[in-house]
């Protein structure tokens, strides 16, 4: 990897190290001030729409995943 890419990656990491604690502080503050009851009420229509338009699958997909693993194993 050339120096410019390495420097850019280091700068990117440094920015996130600086921003991380502030973003975490903002997240915690928002969680403390969130009205959960109101949020649930606001999302109720979207939830009902999802239930109607995207019914639950009959399986979890685990059986199909295991089939793929068996094929890949051989």
Instruction: Record the pTM.
Output: 0.48
Give the tens place of pLDDT for each residue, 38-56.
999 999 999 999 999 998 8
Q: What is the pLDDT of residue 55?
A: 86
CA distance 16 to 25: 14
Q: What is the pLDDT of residue 70?
A: 92
Tell me how far the alpha carbon of residue 29 is from its chain's centroid: 20
The counts of H helices and E strands in the chain are 3, 0
Confidence bin at 57 (pLDDT 50/70/90): confident
Calculate mean pLDDT across residues 24-35.
96
């Amino acid at each position: 990897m050339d120096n410019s890419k390495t420097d850019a990656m280091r700068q990117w990491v440094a920015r996130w190290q600086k921003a991380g604690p502030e973003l975490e502080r903002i997240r915690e503050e928002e969680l403390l001030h969130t009205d959960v009851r109101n949020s649930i009420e606001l999302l109720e229509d979207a939830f009902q729409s999802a239930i109607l338009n995207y019914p639950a699958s009959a399986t979890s997909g685990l059986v199909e995943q295991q089939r793929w693993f068996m094929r890949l194993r051989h």
